Structure 1
Amino acid sequence: MYLFGASGHGKVVAEIAEETGYKIEAYIDDNPLKERVLSYRVLHEIPPHEIDILISIGNNRIRKRIVKQGGLFNYITLIHPKSAISKRVKIGEGTIAMPGVTINAAVKIGAHCIINTNASIDHDCIIEDFVHISPNVALAGNVYVGEGTHIGIGASVIPGIEIGKWCTIGAGAVIIADVPDGATVVGNPGKIIKSKSLKI
């Protein structure tokens, strides 16, 4: 398999790929100064043939842009062996779950998401495509997270909350009310401090 993105997040993804038995052929990255990361070579062009790949870039908008551009890609889903994933969870292509993640029954997670270290997602949550759930986030049951949203490290969301598309939830925020599309929310209790365009 290949990893698309050779920065810090790509290093973590590489180790999870190794843990799950994948052979990493190379990274793909447009930075010409990068030649090797960890023990792997870095290509600066996409191979012209069909490849197995995971987009190892933390930025949600960039991951979506790469997918929209298309390519001869078979997207891999990676689940760290030291995560606890219910057998009744559905996980989309290109998504990664990192060490210590807990995902409980009847959760649906979309494509190209990052479920980061020690995040907890309780029953019946829906996580749409291109979402990043940061380390130590806690989502209670029946939470909805819209496409492209980034939930910052250590944030908590009470049951039944709906968070819109392309939102930013600040580190440590406590979300006790629904969040509209494009909003940035910080604090305890969470308050909207700005809104942004949804154009990708």
Structure 2
Amino acid sequence: MENPVIIFGASELGRAAVEIFESNDIIVYGFLDDKEELHGQTIGELAILGHTEDDGFLKLIGKKCEAFIAVDDRPLRKGLVELIKTRRKMMPVNAIHSNTEIAPSAHVGHGEFINSGVVIGANARIGDHCIIHTNATIDYSAKLGDLVQVGAGSVIGSEAEIGENVFIGSGATIVPGIKIGKNARIGAGSVVVANVEEGLTVFGNPAKAV
């Protein structure tokens, strides 16, 4: 990636994204955020430049800059993705830490946040705009849909299938072959040993509906 990156979202996730880009020697231009009280402030040496819909900065996307979405609220994240796709006809770039292990046969989509120590196994497929936190493991042939969030230290077993917009808390284990329906939520530390229906929240060891 030759162009600098504008980060949408001046949150802690945005700070982490800066470190990821810097680990890959990629320049960050600054932040856009809709909280007006943040405008003009800095994070480290980087300025919070303005609103996410500020056309003065949006027009740089795809020409002089790339875009990355650093928002973990999934509806807001999805909305910002649509903004960039609609206004700039392009997809957000990936923020993948240099200290990750991704198998050559794995497929990784667009707009991903993949933090340090993540392992993605052979033939695994990661949908677009996912957030995969530190030291998570996506084992071989597992599939993640779009907008999935995987907590730190979680393990997605081989051939598991995770639907769109699923949240998996830190330290959870999804045993091999399990299917989790879209919009489900898996509590931190849970061990999922049976399929989870769409929209269900489960917690515990073994995980049960709550």
TM over 0.5: yes
Shift of residue 74, structure 1, vs aligned partner:
4.3
Change (3 A) 1:124 1:60: same
1:45-84 matches, within 5 Å, as 45=51, 46=54, 47-51=57-61, 52-69=66-83, 70-72=86-88, 73-84=90-101
**Is the contact between residue 20 and residue 78 of structure 1 (CA under 8 Å) also seen in structure 2?**
no
- Gapped regions of structure 2 (runs ≥ 5): none
Work out which of the residue numbers 37, 42, 64 in structure 2 matches 1:33: 37
TM-align CA RMSD: 1.2
Matched residue, 1:10 = 14
Aligned counterparts of 2:112 and 2:68: Cα–Cα separation in 1: 8
Matched residue, 1:198 = none
Matched residue, 1:122 = 139
Shift of residue 78, structure 1, vs aligned partner:
2.0
Work out which of the residue numbers 160, 163, 170 in structure 2 matches 1:153: 170
Give the ranges of 4+ consecutive aligned residues of structure 1 lying more than 4 Å apart after TM superposition.
Answer: none
Q: Which has the higher helix share?
A: 2
**Is the contact between residue 155 and residue 169 of structure 1 (CA under 8 Å) also seen in structure 2?**
yes
- CA offsets 1:110-148 (integer angstroms, 9 cap, x no match): 111011100011000110111111100011100111111
Matched residue, 2:119 = 102
Aligned counterparts of 1:71 and 1:17: Cα–Cα separation in 2: 24
Aligned counterparts of 2:26 and 2:37: Cα–Cα separation in 1: 26
Aligned counterparts of 1:171 and 1:24: Cα–Cα separation in 2: 32
Work out which of the residue numbers 42, 48, 53 in structure 2 matches 1:42: 48
**Is the contact between residue 81 and residue 92 of structure 2 (CA under 8 Å) also seen in structure 1?**
no
SS of 2:164's equivalent in the other structure is coil
Query: Share of identical aligned residues, percent?
Result: 33
- CA offsets 1:143-180 (integer angstroms, 9 cap, x no match): 11111111000000111000111111000011000011
Question: Aligned residues, how many?
Answer: 193
User: AA paired with 2:17?
Assistant: V
**Is the contact between residue 50 and residue 74 of structure 1 (CA under 8 Å) also seen in structure 2?**
no
